[in-house]
Amino acid sequence: MGIELGLLVVLLLILGAEFVNGWTDAPNAIATVISTRALPSFAAIIMAAVFNLLGTLLSGTAVAKTIGTGIVNPDLINLTTVGSAMIAIIFWSSLAAYWGLPTSESHALVAGLAGAALAAAGPNALLWAGWKKVLVGLFFSTFLGFGGGLLIMGLIYRLFRRFSLGRVKGIFRYLQIFSSAFMAYSHGSNDGQKFMGAFTLALVMGGILSDFKIPMWVIYLCAITMAFGTMVGGWKIIRTMGMRVTHLDYSQGFAAEMGAATTIEIASHFGIPLSTTHTINTSIMGVGAVRRLSAVRWGVTGQIITAWLLTFPICGIIAYCATKLVQLLK
């Protein structure tokens, strides 16, 4: 069966959003390892691309199914809905990246789908079961992320208090490479799946697939696209995350990444889509708060939180307007 032009455009938009995801969101995984100089920038980017790819390939499809079938009712929407959501993601995430602000592609995706679905079919298009998982993801990314970073940093201070500073640096310089790889893997395991779900949903709507079962070629295509986006790298975001929120050394970078990655992996296991951006940000804040609350640059943090809060309404409105515009032009 050939692919119609409308379906092809939507699929390309989804891949564009996946590329932007790798470009603007994946830098979260390597911001700390670059800022502490545990790895050179180029090596860190290659490592992030590889482990994002592995995370997407090896972590199953639970999150993808939540995005594809649990957020909006597939029977009440169409390809225009999906395409409009992708336009919102690409526009908002690229704009925020220009200003060096990390945004949540997860929230952009669900907000875009919701806004477009409301324009297409009204409130009945929204599915509460999937939105409950989104709300649980907000709890995971905010409180468990902060608590994870704080707890691990506290344990490090306790376990290594008798070690010399030089020895601690030597140990955690190498451990932070491991934690950064784990963070990149967890990003792929959660964020990488979300656009696989959208891609498969579009294939079902376009008549290419008869049911929502994610083909292996879709997994590979989305994973590779995100890996290429990661290699482009969002340097302004890396600077904001790794240098402007709080000063990090090797052990602190390790604690932040381990706290965030563990939280993300738990969420991925239960099919909970959460913001990897929020999770690593709150984990970094938790690490900084172990030293003292003033160690966190709350002015920068306020800018990041503002970008988070704006993501839902802006992406929802863009997707809503794009859907209505297409309806008028038909």
d(CA 309, CA 291): 27
Question: What are the φ/ψ torsions at residue 126 (nearest 5 degrees)?
Answer: -85, 140
Residues 6+ apart with CB under 8 A from 167: none
d(CA 178, CA 263): 16
Tell me how far CA of residue 112 lies from CA of 22, 151, 253, in angstroms: 18, 35, 33
Neighbours of 312 (CB within 10 A): 17
Neighbours of 41 (CB within 10 A): 14
Q: Is the entire prediction scored with pTM above 0.95?
A: no
Tell me what pLDDT residue 237 has: 60
Query: Tokens 């390597």 appear where?
Result: 30
Tell me what pLDDT residue 2 has: 47
Q: Is the distance from CB of 96 to CB of 277 less than 8 angstroms?
A: no
d(CA 255, CA 268): 20
pLDDT tens, per residue, the chain with 330 residues: 446 889 999 999 999 999 988 777 666 667 777 777 778 877 887 888 888 888 888 877 888 888 888 899 988 899 999 999 999 999 988 887 777 666 777 888 999 999 999 999 999 999 988 888 888 888 888 889 899 999 999 999 889 988 887 888 889 888 988 998 998 899 888 887 888 889 999 999 999 998 888 898 998 898 888 888 877 765 556 655 545 545 677 888 899 889 999 999 998 888 888 888 788 888 888 887 776 655 555 565 666 677 777 888 999 999 999 999 998 887
